[in-house]
Amino acid sequence: MAESNLPKGYEPWDVEKKWLDHWEENKTFTPDPEADGDPFSIVIPPPNVTGVLHMGHALNLTLQDILCRYQRQQGKNVLWVPGTDHAGIATQNVVERQLKTEGLTRDDLGREKFIERVWDWKEEKGGHILKQIRRMGASVDWSRECFTFDEQRAKAVREVFVKLFEEGLIYKGNYIINWCNRCHTALADDEVEHSPKPGHFYNVRYKLSDGSGELIVATTRPETMLGDTAICVNPEDERFNHLIGKTAILPLVGRELPIIGDTYVDMEFGTGALKVTPAHDMNDWELGRKHNLEVIAIFDDAGNVNENAPEKYQGLYKDEARKVIVADLEAEGSLISIEDHEHSVGECYRCKSVIEPHVSEQWFVSMKPLAEKARAAVPNDTQIFPPNWEKVYYDWLDNIRDWCISRQIWWGHRIPAWTCEECGELIVTLTDPDKCTKCGSSKITQEDDVLDTWFSSALWPFSTMGWPDNTPELAKYYPTSVLITGFDILFFWVARMMMMGIHFQDQVPFKHVYIHALVRDENGKKMSKSTGNVIDPLEMSDKYGTDALRFTLTAFAAMGRDIKLSESRIEGYRHFVNKIWNSARFALMNFDGKKPEASIDDAQGLANKWILHRLEEVKDSMREGIEGYRFNEVAQTMYRFIWNEFCDWYLEMIKPDLYSDDESRKAPTLKVLWTVLSETMVLLHPVMPFVTQEIWSVLPGIENEDIATVLYPETRDHCRSKDAVVQMELFQGIVSGVRNIRTELLIAPSKKLEMIMRTSSDEALSLINDNAELVKFLARLETVEAGPDMRGPEASGTAVVQGNEIFIPLAGAVDFESELARLDKEFAKLDKDLIVIEKKLSNDAFVNNAPAAVVAQERERLAEIDDKKQKLTELKDRLVSVMK
pLDDT, one tens digit per residue, over 94-145 is 999 999 999 999 999 999 999 999 999 999 988 899 999 999 999 999 999 9
* 54-101 tens-digit pLDDT: 999 999 999 999 999 999 999 999 999 999 999 998 899 899 999 999
User: What pLDDT, on a 0 to 100 scale, did the predictor assign at position 345?
Assistant: 79
> In angstroms, rounded to a whole number, what is the distance separating the alpha carbons of residues 267 and 237?
7
Total domains in the fold of the chain: 5
pLDDT category at 269 given cuts 50, 70, 90 is confident
Check residue 172 and give its pLDDT. 93
Residue 854 in this model has a pLDDT that exceeds 60: yes
Are 210 and 292 members of one domain? yes
pLDDT of 350 above 80 = no
- Is the pLDDT at 882 greater than 70, yes or no? no
Read off the pLDDT of residues 592-621 as tens digits, 9 standing for 90 and up. 899 999 999 999 999 999 999 999 999 999
Instruction: State the CATH number of the domain containing residue 313.
Output: 3.90.740.10
Contacts of 660 (CB under 8 A, 6+ apart): 666
User: Are 262 and 317 contained in the same domain?
Assistant: yes
Question: How confident is the model at residue 357, as a pLDDT?
Answer: 86
State the chain's maximal CA–CA distance in angstroms: 115
Same domain, 590 and 548: yes
C-alpha distances out from residue 422 to 348, 416, 444, 476, Å? 38, 19, 8, 48
Asked if residue 676 and residue 574 are part of one domain, the reply reads yes
Position 432 in a domain:
no
End-to-end CA distance of the chain: 48
Output the DSSP codes for 46-73. Answer: PPBTT----HHHHHHHHHHHHHHHHHHH
Residue 876 confidence (pLDDT) above 70:
yes
Is a pLDDT exceeding 70 seen at residue 837? yes
Say yes or no to pLDDT of 879 above 80: no
Ordered strands of the 214-219 beta sheet: 214-219, 192-207, 335-348
Query: Which phi-psi region, left, alpha or beta, contains residue 27 (left: φ > 0; alpha: ψ -120 to 50)?
Result: left
Is 180 a domain residue?
no
Instruction: List the CATH number of the domain containing 548.
Output: 1.10.730.10
Q: What is the mean pLDDT of residues 702-709?
A: 94
Measured CA to CA in angstroms, residue 27 lies from 127, 546, 606 at distances of 19, 21, 44
* pLDDT tier for residue 292 given thresholds of 50, 70 and 90: very high
Residue 190 has pLDDT above 80, yes or no: no
Residue 3 located in a structural domain: no
Q: What is the pLDDT of residue 4?
A: 65
pLDDT for position 233: 95
**pLDDT cut 90: percent of the chain above it:** 76
Residues 878 and 731 in one domain: no
3-state helix, strand, coil in the chain (%, to 5): 50, 20, 35
Q: Residue 310 falls within a domain, yes or no?
A: yes
Amino acid sitting at position 318: K
Give 789's contacts (C-beta < 8 A, 6+ positions apart). 758
Q: Verify that 314 and 461 share a domain, yes or no.
A: no
- Rounded to an integer, what distance in angstroms lies between the CA atom of residue 405 and that of residue 455? 7
Do 802 and 821 lie in one domain? The reply is: no
Q: Is 832 annotated as a binding residue?
A: no
Residue 331 belongs to domain spanning: 185-357
Question: What is the tens place of the pLDDT at every residue in 293-306?
Answer: 999 999 998 899 99
Q: Tell me the percentage of the chain whose pLDDT exceeds 70.
A: 99
CA distance 179 to 224: 15
- Whether 672 and 772 map to the same domain: the answer is no
State residue 794's pLDDT score.
78
- Band of the pLDDT at 488, cuts 50, 70, 90? confident
Which domain-ending residue is among 809, 842, 864? Answer: 809
Domain assignment present for 832: yes
Average pLDDT, the chain: 93
Asked whether the predicted pLDDT for residue 2 surpasses 60, the reply is no
Answer with the one of 771, 788, 809 that is the final residue of a domain.
Answer: 809
Q: Tell whether 695 and 749 lie within a shared domain.
A: no
Task: Supply the pLDDT for residue 86.
Answer: 95
Same domain, 630 and 556: yes
| H/E segment holding residue 392 | helix 389-398
Is 805 inside a domain boundary? yes
21 lies in some domain: no
**Both 123 and 208 in a single domain?**
no
| 371 inside domain | yes
Report pLDDT for 472. Answer: 97
If asked whether residues 320 and 194 sit together in one domain, one would say yes
Q: Is the pLDDT of residue 423 over 70?
A: yes
Domain boundary among 809, 841, 872: 809
The single-letter code of the amino acid at 218 is A
The Cα–Cα gap between 275 and 265 comes to 10
> What is the domain-level CATH number for residue 487?
3.40.50.620
